[in-house]
Chains A and B, each alone.
Chain A
Amino acid sequence: MRRLFFLSILIAISAAFFASTNPDGLDFISEKLGFAAIGRDGTAPMAGYSIKFLPEGGVSTAVAGIAGVLIVFALFWLAAYGLKNTGRNRKLNDKFVGFIIMGLLVAAVEFSGPPAFAARPLFTDDFYTVARGGYELELGYAATENFGSSVSALGLSFKRGFLPNLDLGIEVPCTMSGIAGINDCYLHLKYRFWEASENEGLTARVDYKFDNGNLYEGLGSGDNDFWLMLIGTKMFGQTKTHFNVGYVNVGFNAGRAENDYWAYSAAVEYPAWGEKGDLVAEYVANASLSPYPTFVLLGGRYEIFHSFKLDAGYSFGSNENSIKNALTAGIHWEF
């Protein structure tokens, strides 16, 4: 099935570049017989198979085509999802999936450019929130060697700034290897409550993990988790430092024996390429197991054009409960 999906996208892309631009049968006849003029062009987000904010041409059509293929498939996926989930989480999950689709559609339609702050490839969060009315989209890929097995995963994070100091986002992680599919998704709410200067301050963040992953197929944990995090950012000379302290409640609201732990991390960002790019490093640990799972990440990010950044990182763990090796790469886009 996945092969056919790629075939559809391939056809859409090649159509954008190689398809004939002549009018089709009906359009040709309506022009030849002179009744084309009474037809009215409709309005739509991607009218004429092009994206408004991209220069006219093949690329714009290709992006519109890919969006179309995804929208068409999403319709049927949603139908199956709606028919399948008639259990206790139905209302929540329906709203949540609707939110994802709406978010992606809004992202496809709107375009503007407030300043950019980045979090990837770091796990440690910074105190910034997405500018009011702005959007942030992050896509990351990670290959991890873990407890003798290796896993590759793709994660999509989408955030919108609702107030000058508050943003709301969702994160959709997908496992790519072994049992492929969508894992449990997260909802983030971030509130910047104290600001010492433009680059220093404190933020509180609340995360909620859904149990939408199919536990029986090995995706997701089947629990609703709850996170509360305090995030601080401080400058030392040119170097930015971020500190995270978090409380995690596993199985929150799931009606089973509760389990909780603390998590903490620290990160530094050094502007090695000035405004354009940073070198980053971080230390992440949590108290869920003994010895504590910890890892160190080294990486960097670079802005290739306005508000669009590429990043990469390598991380390694320190003991048998940690990940062994992981490579990650991703993109970050604010608009």
Chain B
Amino acid sequence: MHIPDGLLDPKISAGLMGAAAAVLGFCFARVRAMVTALKPAEALATVGAGVGSMGVKLKRVLTSDGERTIYQMGMVAALVFAAQMFNFPISNGTSGHLIGGVFAAVIVGPFAGSIVIAAVLLVQMLFFADGGLIAIGANIINLAVVGTLAAYYIYYWLNKVVPEWLAIISAAWISVLLAAFFCALELGFSGTIPFSVVIPAMLKVHLVIGIAEALITLALVNIFRGVRMRREM
């Protein structure tokens, strides 16, 4: 569901780029706070730096848990990138591929998950011409914000009332529909195609793609947790 350049109105593309930058900025701040800790600067001062360095300054340094979190984000991103290459056939001439937003958010958390999906989209756009340069804001909003950050909270609330596997597959299925709905809205607002045509068409196809997304997400979450647990034992 990577929108190429040309389908969206430039004003909408620019607006979505700004929105994407704002949300990602917030996510970056949250992840930075998660992976670093404040340490007094004098503990870091080199010998001979003098009494001037002995003030009560604080400095952010990467914690070892934080470093592990970043590597884990990289691992999830690599897995999502590979999985997105795998188009599975749906019906008469259509295929679908994973978004991976719910998978990333369940494993590394909603904010880190958004950054992971945004990084994958960026690499796809820069190196593989998958998704447009000007449409990158729209793609980040659809897949990394709606399909990841928002979908995570669906998982979060469902997890309180139903078993986790059900929460994961429901959130994954809804994430695809939500992303498709946002994509259709953007196309409609751009005047590319009337709302009444594009919204039902997008939702109909992604109802089926969402089922595959749900199953793959559940499998990936289990594989990822299984490998991690074996490593800790």
* B125 CB contact (under 8 Å) in A4, A42, A72, A74: A42
* B197 CB contact (under 8 Å) in A1, A14, A33, A73: A33
Known: A25-B205, A26-B1, A29-B198. A76 touches B94 (CB 8 A): no
Note all chain A residues with C-beta closer than 8 A to B224.
4
- Interface-central residue, A8, A28, A61, A76, by most chain B CB under 10 Å: A76
* A68 CB contact (under 8 Å) in B36, B74, B128, B198: B128
Note all chain B residues with C-beta closer than 8 A to A45.
127
Known: A38-B192, A44-B126. A28 touches B6 (CB 8 A): no
Closest CB-CB distance, B104 to chain A, in whole Å? 12
Closest CB-CB distance, B224 to chain A, in whole Å? 7
**B129: interface (CB < 8 Å):** yes
A68 to B112 CA separation, bound complex (whole angstroms): 20
Q: Once the chains bind, are A41 and B88 in contact (CB under 8 Å)?
A: no
* B93 CB contact (under 8 Å) in A11, A22, A71: A22
Q: Once the chains bind, are A26 and B127 in contact (CB under 8 Å)?
A: no
Q: Once the chains bind, are A11 and B123 in contact (CB under 8 Å)?
A: no
Q: Once the chains bind, are A26 and B183 in contact (CB under 8 Å)?
A: yes
Note all chain B residues with C-beta closer than 8 A to A261.
none
Q: Once the chains bind, are A49 and B130 in contact (CB under 8 Å)?
A: yes
Q: How many residues on the A side are at the interface (Cβ–Cβ under 8 A)?
A: 60
Which residues in chain B, 190-213, are within 8 Å of chain A measured between CB atoms? 192-193, 197-198, 201-202, 205-206, 209
Note all chain A residues with C-beta closer than 8 A to B209.
24-25
B74-102 contact mask (Cβ, 8 Å, vs A): 1 or 0: 11011101110111111001111100000
Note all chain A residues with C-beta closer than 8 A to B95.
19-24, 28
Q: Once the chains bind, are B83 and A11 in contact (CB under 8 Å)?
A: yes
Note all chain B residues with C-beta closer than 8 A to A26.
1-3, 180, 183, 202
Query: What number of A-B contacts does a CB cutoff of 8 Å give?
Result: 197
Closest CB-CB distance, B133 to chain A, in whole Å? 6
Q: Once the chains bind, are B75 and A4 in contact (CB under 8 Å)?
A: yes
A24 to B205 CA separation, bound complex (whole angstroms): 9
Known: A16-B85, A25-B205. A72 touches B74 (CB 8 A): yes
Q: Once the chains bind, are B94 and A24 in contact (CB under 8 Å)?
A: yes
Among listed B11-19, B50-58, B65-73, B160-168, interface-contacting one = B65-73
- In the A-B complex, the 10 residue pairs with the smallest Cβ-Cβ separation, listed nearest first, are A76-B74, A47-B129, A44-B129, A15-B85, A20-B95, A42-B129, A11-B82, A15-B86, A22-B95, A39-B4
List 7 interface pairs A-B (beta carbons < 8 Å), by A numbering: A11-B82, A23-B93, A25-B94, A38-B7, A44-B127, A76-B71, A80-B62
| Contacts A28-B95, A48-B128 supplied; 14 other A-B pairs, CB < 8 Å | A10-B82, A11-B83, A24-B94, A28-B93, A28-B205, A33-B201, A42-B129, A46-B128, A65-B85, A68-B128, A72-B119, A75-B119, A77-B71, A80-B70
Residues of B within 8 A of A (CB): 1-7, 35-36, 46, 61-62, 66-67, 70-75, 77-79, 81-83, 85-90, 93-97, 119-120, 123-133, 180, 183, 187, 192-193, 197-198, 201-202, 205-206, 209, 223-224, 227, 231
